Chain A
Amino acid sequence: SQKIEQNSEALNIQEGKTATLTCNYTNYSPAYLQWYRQDPGRGPVFLLLIRENEKEKRKERLKVTFDTTLKQSLFHITASQPADSATYLCAFYSSASKIIFGSGTRLSIRP
């Protein structure tokens, strides 16, 4: 079955450092991957979408890469701030046109 895995349940880093989150997928070759941010008790907020023919995409302090050979997407937050603390979800559209979410990585930025 198509699976998406975020191998870190939690990540704690120092303010100002770059946070790197990993998302791996199996048994499928998605045309694009998406990254969302979710705060406690809130719905996910769309951040970035990257297509399979795009190696990298940036938005302000965010950067996403998509390696179709490794079947992996990396999500980077540069110059991290305590306000970046949240759960980050990766997701892709399955062959049945449904979004499959990873379990999320809970990122904590300490001052």
Chain B
Amino acid sequence: GAVVSQHPSRVICKSGTSVKIECRSLDFQATTMFWYRQFPKQSLMLMATSNEGSKATYEQGVEKDKFLINHASLTLSTLTVTSAHPEDSSFYICSARRTGKAEQYFGPGTRLTVT
């Protein structure tokens, strides 16, 4: 149990376009999902906390208008990178926390490359 999927696993897009990444909890309900980005050989940096049915909470320095998060159901959260630039190229990882539990379960990640 506790499987989290992400789609797509890899995406290449042109500068100025928008990209949507989906995060799904496949076999459990997740009231809270989290979005991270990770640069090579660095640890995960929390971008935002996504709560089902309410607005996401963004970390300091993360532009909410650039990284749009929607958590429309207990099993799906989406991250849209709007007007992507090459500096947005990174590894984006989502995680989901089972309602009432402490452990987080991570998706396999999405490698975004902006050309």
Footprint of B on A, CB under 8 Å?
A: 32, 34, 36, 41-46, 49, 89, 93, 98-99, 101-104
Are A42 and B102 touching (Cβ within 8 A)?
no
A56 to chain B: closest CB distance in Å?
18
B37 to chain A: closest CB distance in Å?
12
- Docked pose: A34 CA to B101 CA in angstroms: 13
The residues in B between 36 and 86 inclusive whose CB is less than 8 angstroms from any CB of A are 42-44, 46, 49
Most central of A44, A49, A98 by chain B CB within 10 Å: A44
Footprint of A on B, CB under 8 Å?
A: 2, 4, 6, 34, 42-44, 46, 49, 91, 93, 95, 102-109, 111
- Kindly report which residue of chain B lies nearest to residue A94, judged by CB atoms: B46
- Kindly report which residue of chain B lies nearest to residue A98, judged by CB atoms: B46
Are A46 and B44 touching (Cβ within 8 A)?
no
Chain A residues with CB under 8 Å of B4's CB are: 43
Chain B residues with CB under 8 Å of A45's CB are: 106
The majority secondary structure among interface residues of chain A is strand
Are B46 and A34 touching (Cβ within 8 A)?
no
- Kindly report which residue of chain A lies nearest to residue B59, judged by CB atoms: A98
Chain B residues with CB under 8 Å of A49's CB are: 102-103
- Docked pose: A34 CA to B104 CA in angstroms: 9
Are B102 and A93 touching (Cβ within 8 A)?
yes
Chain B residues with CB under 8 Å of A36's CB are: 106
- Kindly report which residue of chain A lies nearest to residue B101, judged by CB atoms: A49
Chain A residues with CB under 8 Å of B105's CB are: 46
- Docked pose: A46 CA to B103 CA in angstroms: 7
A64 to chain B: closest CB distance in Å?
13
Are B106 and A43 touching (Cβ within 8 A)?
yes
| Residue among A32, A43, A99, A103 making CB contact with B42, cutoff 8 Å | A103
- Docked pose: A81 CA to B108 CA in angstroms: 23
Chain B residues with CB under 8 Å of A32's CB are: 102
Chain B residues with CB under 8 Å of A89's CB are: 43-44
